[in-house]
Chains A and B, each alone.
Chain A
Amino acid sequence: MNSIQKNRLKDQLFKIWGIACTLFGLVLLTVFIGDILIDGIRRIDWAFITDLPSRKAEKSGIYTALMGSIWILILTTIISFPIGVAAGVYLEEYSKKNRLSALLEINISNLAGVPSIIYGLLGLEVFVRIMSLGASVLAGALTLSLLILPIIIVATREAIKAVPKSIRDASYALGASKWQTIWNQVLPASGGGILTGVILALSRAVGETAPLIVVGALAYVPFAPSNPMDEFSVLPIQIFNWISRPQHGFIENAAAAIIILLLITFVMNGIAVYFRNKWQKKWK
């Protein structure tokens, strides 16, 4: 075999290795999900969703945890959405190239890399203790809002960046002010992209466990929260609690609850991808 053939062979071998690696993660994910479906699907029925937690595995349901997750989702959206989008708009449209903007930029990039559990420690000290909110849904939602803020800001900036300059120029030429241009032209034009980012960020918040454990969310709450100051549990914490119990029945419960959690996560991701595709077409 001469060196040309050798090199071509190597090339082909790498191609096969490349396909194998690409499929490796996906195949494992499929195996995992298949395994979870086998373990948990029989456990899912209406009672599993509407029952309160119990010491007996077969009587336990996810009602309080699911309600806690929904409360967290709603409050986190209300808190993080306006602040994140406003900060993104400021950085993209108003901020001038100076030391403050450089500081904001490096700071946001750094915050995006801070481990989620550190946000938990921040929430524990500032919201739970100093602001004495206790281990409430509100304290949890505030903590998660800070956690996903950098994701929303980055997504907002990307979406606004993609709006062509001609649209702004046309608005200014008609005599619109800066804010009128942003509100009436730039934000509607970038709405799809912003929405994509916000939904992805929220889907991350729904799956977060560690910061809420640190803030003091409980594994067992007898009732679903009825106001923002109530104590709460969330689906991931309920799953974590069930995984750490030795009896087999709870493993089945954990698998069933994971199916529900994955369903929520994947549906949110699907919606986000849908918006992204729809919005990308607009500028092409």
Chain B
Amino acid sequence: MRKIKELVIEKSLLSSALVTIAVTFGIISVLAIEAFRFFSEVSIFDFFTDTQWTPLFTDKHYGILPLLSGTLLTSFIAISVALPVGLTISIYLSEYAPRSFRKTIKPLLELLAAVPTVVYGFFALIVVTPFLQQFIPGLSGFNSLSAGIVMGIMIIPFVSSISEDALHAVPKDLKEASYGMGATKLQTAFKVVVPAASSGIIVSIILAISRAIGETMIVAIAAGQQPRLTLDPTVPVETITAFIVQVSLGDVQHGSIEYRTIFAAGITLFVFTFLLNTLSYRIRKKYQEKYE
């Protein structure tokens, strides 16, 4: 009797774990089915080569490039902010800062990641854009610059905390050998600790990029809703995620081509983040073996 009970419990726990597989399966099949229907009406060649994205206009074009360029532009700006700042923080906290300072500052930094993204969107639009307009006269009210900068601030803790864990995992003997040779903390940090923790740092960068690409509310609020193939950070653009929000806010009928565009846009986004996440997982697995 007891054995049966134990078995029933084990199986029900297993079924909970299998829910996660069902979720992945669900995501892939939903995106694939709707995207397949989309591509039966729109040629996949046009999708990747047309330079206009105007599915909501009468003259319809379905070129993903403008949305892709918007996504990459805002992500690039965000990473340019988050990477130097985040890495410096991680090196400072793991090599220089006193323990007590580290212990108080880490939860505070994590608070940056806990702020809802809609709040960051408000900052970008209402605070950062007017501030930047004082220095950049041509800056439009919606632009990828302030959206990107604010997104960068949001992902600083992602870069700093994962990198710091990696730096922390570097064996002490390596550092002490370096100090023994008369190296300063800075020399030790950049010539010994950072190279030894490089895989962990790369993981943090990849995850930050993936996070930036998938970020929605900041760009939907502050970067605008005009798909445009440009690298100019001062004009309005639209990202893949912002487009999905724009369509979802309107009244779009199920089964229409407009409805399917969000799944075609969604599968493009999913493929990107999936590749990045898988890559980071591989690197992480390899690096865990190195020190454990």
Contacts and interface: CB of A to CB of B under 8 A. Distances in A.
Nearest to A121: B266
B184 A11 contact: yes
B193 interface: no
A21 B118 contact: no
B122 A210 contact: no
Interface in B97-147: 97, 105, 107-109, 111-112, 114-119, 121-123, 125-127
A7 B187 CA distance: 8
Contact of B20 (A28, A35, A111, A178): A111
A83 B30 contact: no
A121 B34 CA distance: 10
Contact of A15 (B89, B92, B115): B92
B interface majority secondary structure: helix
Given A11-B184, A115-B214, A255-B122, A121 B114 contact: no
Interface in A129-166: 129, 146, 149-150, 153
Given A25-B109, A115-B214, A90 B207 contact: no
A240 B241 contact: no
B266 A113 contact: no
Nearest to B157: A25
Interface string B153-180: 1001100000000000000000000000
Contacts of A209: 116-118, 216-217
Contacts of A106: 278, 281
Interface residues of B, number: 83
User: DSSP class of A's interface residues: helix, strand, loop or mixed?
Assistant: helix
Given A25-B112, A113-B207, A150-B20, A8 B184 contact: yes
Given A21-B89, A116-B214, A111 B24 contact: yes
Given A207-B116, A254-B122, A265-B116, A83 B16 contact: yes
A121 B38 CA distance: 15
Contacts of A95: 17
B249 interface: yes
B17 A104 contact: yes
B5 interface: yes
Given A8-B184, A22-B89, A125-B30, A107 B20 contact: yes
Interface stretch (B7-15, B45-53, B229-237): B7-15
A262 B122 CA distance: 13
Contacts of B281: 106, 109-110
A207 to B, nearest CB: 3
A17 to B, nearest CB: 6
B27 interface: yes
B13 A26 contact: no
B274 interface: yes
Contacts of B105: 22, 26
B23 A240 contact: no
A236 interface: yes
Chain A interface size, as a band, is 35 or more
23 contacts: A18-B89, A21-B84, A25-B109, A83-B16, A90-B13, A103-B21, A104-B21, A107-B21, A108-B20, A113-B280, A117-B244, A118-B266, A118-B269, A118-B270, A125-B30, A149-B19, A153-B17, A207-B116, A209-B116, A209-B216, A213-B245, A236-B116, A239-B122
Interface of B: 2, 5-6, 9-10, 12-14, 16-17, 19-21, 23-24, 26-27, 30-31, 34, 84-85, 88-89, 91-93, 96-97, 105, 107-109, 111-112, 114-119, 121-123, 125-127, 153, 156-157, 184-187, 189, 207, 210-211, 213-217, 220-221, 241, 244-245, 248-249, 254, 262-263, 266, 269-270, 273-274, 276-278, 280-281
Interface of A: 7-8, 10-11, 14-15, 17-19, 21-22, 24-26, 28-29, 31-32, 35-36, 39, 82-84, 86-87, 89-91, 94-95, 103-104, 106-111, 113-122, 124-126, 129, 146, 149-150, 153, 177-179, 200, 203-204, 206-210, 213-214, 216, 219, 236, 239-240, 243-244, 251, 254-255, 258, 261-262, 265-266, 269, 273
